[in-house]
Amino acid sequence: MSESSWIRHYAKLPVVLQNLACTLAGIKMRRTRHNRVFRDAMRFLDESQWWTAERQREYQDDQLRRTIRHAYETVPYYREVFEQRGLRPDDIRTADDLPKLPILEKQTVRDRFDDLQSRGWPTRRQVHLATGGTTGTCLHLIEDMDTAPWRWAVQWRHRRRFGVEFGRPFVVFASKGVVPLSNMNPPIWRRNLVMHQTYVSVHHMTKQNMPALVEYLQKRRLEYYAGFPSALYLLATHLLDDRASLGQPPKMVYTGSETLLPHQRSAIQQALGADVGDHYTPSEACAFISECEQHSYHVDTEYGVVELLPLDGGPVDLRRIVGTGFCNPAMPLIRYNTGDLATVSGGDCSCGRATPIVEKIDGRTDSYIVTPDGRQLGRLSTIFKRTPAIAEAQLVQDTLEHVTVKVVRSDTYTQEDDDRFREDLRRYLGDVILIDVEYLDQIPREDNGKFRQIVSKVFRDRYKEAENAGSNT
């Protein structure tokens, strides 16, 4: 049966059978994610996070040399790149040598998909996956069967830093497609009993469905919550508006897949009564960055080399995240441009880990409004700080002089809120940009369920120009 006919059949099943189907899928998922490789990696990562900086570097350079040699010997694209530049694998001995190689763009991965795969890699070890890019286009990749257990081990190290133990019941707010879009009524969750997971579909988190969701969560008392920050923020604002609580708060809330903004973090903490631990985990298996107990973002150096490269014409501390992954020999990505940005920070973290830290993850390169006077605005917290009655807002910049602001108002939104919001918006964007405000019941998500706060065509075009001018940085 083809995948699309499976989905059609699944959508027609009663909820109880959909839960059973999710549980059956969970048996396979558990085997491929949480196997012996995962357990060994967890043990290793528990220890390696406390290594000295020198030992971390040695390990990283060792893994890098192994990855480079493997790519040179078995991946046609990399053999070609090395030959064109007159390089041999021995020319890349440490992370400092990486700039000898070009940046790998997403488009090149698409164009040279076959040539980027390791020749002769056993078919039985290959896993095909499609990542949902925030640009709305999807990227196909091949992974080795051990890549996912490694990814999950790094993610679980992050979770365990905050006292949550593996295997405890949890809820994830994401876009898994397990709640069919053909029925928008509750229940908007499905269960995978073997992995103790409850999925809540972000596509179904409408105002009408929120009371049923809250009632369900109050009853279930799940140990931790995970998912897109925009979805957890929606839940938080609903609870705050209704002056309601979850009863027994979860131990921890984990966010990822989208940029966590300061106002989202504080609303989630306040409404759900739990600390928030954020992590950056692009699906291309090349660069992971996870928060520690002190809320510093540490690079997960065992997973790959993360380069933070200056953005031409951008603020000095704002950098492009470029990753070289160690955990996917089936299709190694070397100096892959994730298309995301981070703000660098100086200094060490008081937690005692010696791995590099960044101040924060800034999200997509097109997540900035460009003003005619040359500013780049990416932090929306100033707009929301004084108006919590805004449930959601999205800024769409189509030209340098024009921004459309899409707003979802909560039930408590007043004229006074509106005046204040418009005043803050004007102060934030300046007088030279024309602002249109649209009120909506819901702001549509990307196909992959993610929410983008800023969509700027202008920033994307400028960034592309700068990228072309200064390629191979």
* Distance, first Cα to last Cα, the chain: 47
Q: How far is the CB of 297 from Zn ion (least distance, A)?
A: 9
Dihedral angle of Cα 63, 362, 139, 178, to the nearest 10 degrees? 110
Closest alpha carbon to 196 in 178, 169, 176? 169
- Return d(Cα 371, Cα 306) in angstroms, integer: 30
Question: Are the beta carbons of 339 and 106 closer than 8 angstroms?
Answer: yes
The interface with Zn ion within residues 268-327 (CB under 5 A) comprises 292, 294, 296
Binds Zn ion by CB under 5 A, chosen from 344, 351, 435, 466 = 351
Q: Does 349 bind Zn ion (CB under 5 A)?
A: yes
Q: How far is the CB of 292 from Zn ion (least distance, A)?
A: 3
Q: How far is the CB of 157 from Zn ion (least distance, A)?
A: 13
Give the residue with the Cβ less far from Zn ion, 267 or 349.
Answer: 349
Give the residue with the Cβ less far from Zn ion, 149 or 356.
Answer: 356
**Binding string, residues 88-117; x marks residues near Zn ion by CB under 5 A:** ------------------------------
Per CB under 5 A, the segment of 11-19, 304-312, 344-352, 428-436 that binds Zn ion is: 344-352
Q: How far is the CB of 303 from Zn ion (least distance, A)?
A: 17
Question: Are the beta carbons of 446 and 258 closer than 8 angstroms?
Answer: no
Q: Does 49 bind Zn ion (CB under 5 A)?
A: no
Per CB under 5 A, the segment of 207-215, 347-355, 395-403, 418-426 that binds Zn ion is: 347-355
Q: How far is the CB of 431 from Zn ion (least distance, A)?
A: 42
Give the residue with the Cβ less far from Zn ion, 277 or 363.
Answer: 277
Give the residue with the Cβ less far from Zn ion, 60 or 296.
Answer: 296
Per CB under 5 A, the segment of 100-108, 186-194, 341-349, 380-388 that binds Zn ion is: 341-349
Give the residue with the Cβ less far from Zn ion, 156 or 384.
Answer: 156
Q: Does 230 bind Zn ion (CB under 5 A)?
A: no
Give the residue with the Cβ less far from Zn ion, 6 or 50.
Answer: 50
Q: How far is the CB of 358 from Zn ion (least distance, A)?
A: 11
Give the residue with the Cβ less far from Zn ion, 67 or 355.
Answer: 355
Q: How far is the CB of 302 from Zn ion (least distance, A)?
A: 15
Give the residue with the Cβ less far from Zn ion, 294 or 472.
Answer: 294
Give the residue with the Cβ less far from Zn ion, 294 or 381.
Answer: 294
Q: How far is the CB of 187 from Zn ion (least distance, A)?
A: 39
Number of residues that bind Zn ion (CB under 5 A): 5
Q: How far is the CB of 348 from Zn ion (least distance, A)?
A: 8
- Return d(Cα 79, Cα 164) in angstroms, integer: 44
The interface with Zn ion within residues 3-32 (CB under 5 A) comprises none
Give the residue with the Cβ less far from Zn ion, 248 or 350.
Answer: 350
What is the gyration radius of the CA atoms in the chain, in angstroms? 23
Give the residue with the Cβ less far from Zn ion, 49 or 410.
Answer: 49
Q: How far is the CB of 252 from Zn ion (least distance, A)?
A: 16
Q: How far is the CB of 351 from Zn ion (least distance, A)?
A: 3
Per CB under 5 A, the segment of 8-16, 170-178, 302-310, 349-357 that binds Zn ion is: 349-357
Residues within the interface to Zn ion (CB under 5 A): 292, 294, 296, 349, 351
